[in-house]
Amino acid sequence: MKKILSFVVVAVLALSLAACGNSGAPAQGEGSAAGEGTSKETLVMATNGAFPPYEYYDGDVMVGIDVEMAQAVADKLGMELQIEDMDFGAIIAAVQSGKADMGVAGMTVTEERLENVNFSDSYATGIQVVIVKEGSDIATIDDLEGKMIGVQESTTGHIYCADTPENGGYGEENVTAYTTGANAVEALKTGKVDCVVIDNEPAKAFVAANEGLKILETEFAVEDYAIAIAKDNTELVEKVNKALAELKADGTLDAIVAKYIPAE
Ligand code: GLN
């Protein structure tokens, strides 16, 4: 029985939200001009713009659930949102050093991360899933032993899979980490890895964009996404939590999610 990583079977419920497309999204450009003709204070968001539908590029503009949610939070705080795109693994350090005010990147709350940053209240659920090639002999997570697993560097999928078998992982030697989920998926397509362990919504986006891949239907790890904020900035945590509560209560957050994750 796996100890640390307690996988549970989850029926992915179709959201009973009004179906809508991705058109007409007010987009937040990267690095919006801070201080240019505005007296607004800047709210710097660190993210990794390769994690659809939470943050990704539509042309050269970063869009997605996190981007629009962060914009809505900034609006509530009367601040100017500025986006800094970086490797996922650099986000916590950016928040700790004050280079960024908050990390908004489909980031899972973990005990280890809580030692370095604070987290806001959760705004979404993430599920770690397994992508395989159609026709793969991997049918469940129990078939992953001895296989080469592709992951995105520094993500929970990486941390869990690279852990020792005693701790529910598969061992570092069985894991190859890539800077982006897209690169991991590319490695799966070319046979460099046998599967990719990644969050469910990006997984769906990658499978939709690539022929011949599928997501295993069984056994997932369920996680909470939240906004990472520096340990000493409890004032911002409170402000962000208040803004998030309002955005949840008035349906704004649901509407943003429904725009990027159409009802199934
Ligand atoms: N939810 C995962 C984590 O926090 C992956 C996030 C991401 O790749 N942006 O580690």
| Separation CA 120–CA 238 (nearest Å) | 8
Q: Which residues of 31-59 are buried (b: 16+ CB within 10 A; e: fewer)?
A: eeeeeeeeeeebbbbbbbbbbbbbbbeee
Q: How far is the CA of 185 from the centre of ligand 1 (A)?
A: 15
Band of the pLDDT at 219, cuts 50, 70, 90?
Answer: low
Q: Which domains does the chain have, with CATH numbers?
A: 29-123+226-260 (3.40.190.10), 126-223 (3.40.190.10)
Is the pLDDT assigned to residue 156 strictly greater than 70? yes
* Segment holding 202, helix H or strand E: helix 200-209
Q: Distance between CA atoms of 176 and 129, rounded to whole angstroms? A: 16
Model confidence pLDDT, tens digit, residues 110-150: 999 999 999 999 999 999 999 999 999 999 988 998 999 99
Q: What is the mean pLDDT of residues 27-35?
A: 45
The pLDDT of residue 29 is 45
Which pTM was predicted? 0.84
Q: Of all protein residues, whose CA lies closest to atom 8 belonging to ligand 1?
A: 155
CA of 122 to the centre of ligand 1 (A): 14
Give yes or no for residue 36 having a pLDDT over 70: no
Given this model, what pLDDT does residue 37 score? Answer: 55
The predicted pLDDT at position 181 comes to 94
pLDDT at 12 over 50: no
Confirm or reject: Cβ of 202 under 6 Å from ligand 1.
no
155 lines ligand 1 (CB under 6 A): yes
With beta carbons less than 8 A apart as the criterion, state whether 62 and 25 touch.
no
Tens-place pLDDT, residues 225-252: 999 999 999 999 999 999 999 999 999 9
> Does 21 or 163 have the greater pLDDT score?
163
Band (pLDDT 50/70/90 cuts) for residue 17 is very low
Residue 16's pLDDT is what? 33
> Which atom, in ligand 1's list, is nearest to the CA of 126?
1
- Alpha-carbon distance of 158 to 175, in angstroms, equals 8
Instruction: Provide the pLDDT for residue 126.
Output: 94
Check if 80 has its Cβ closer than 6 Å to any atom of ligand 1. Answer: no
pLDDT at 220: 60
- Residue 218: pLDDT band (50, 70, 90) is confident
Structure confidence at residue 40 (pLDDT)? 86
* 152, 153, 160, 197, best to mutate for ligand 1 pocket (most atoms within 8 Å of CB): 152
Distance between Cα 88 and ligand 1 center (Å): 7
Residue 255's pLDDT is 97
Mean pLDDT (the chain) is 88
Listed in sequence order, the residues at least 6 apart from 13 whose beta carbon sits closer than 8 Å to its beta carbon are: none
Segment 4-30 shows an average pLDDT of: 37
Distance, CA of 179 to CA of 65 (rounded, Å): 21
**Confidence at 106, pLDDT banded by 50, 70, 90:** very high
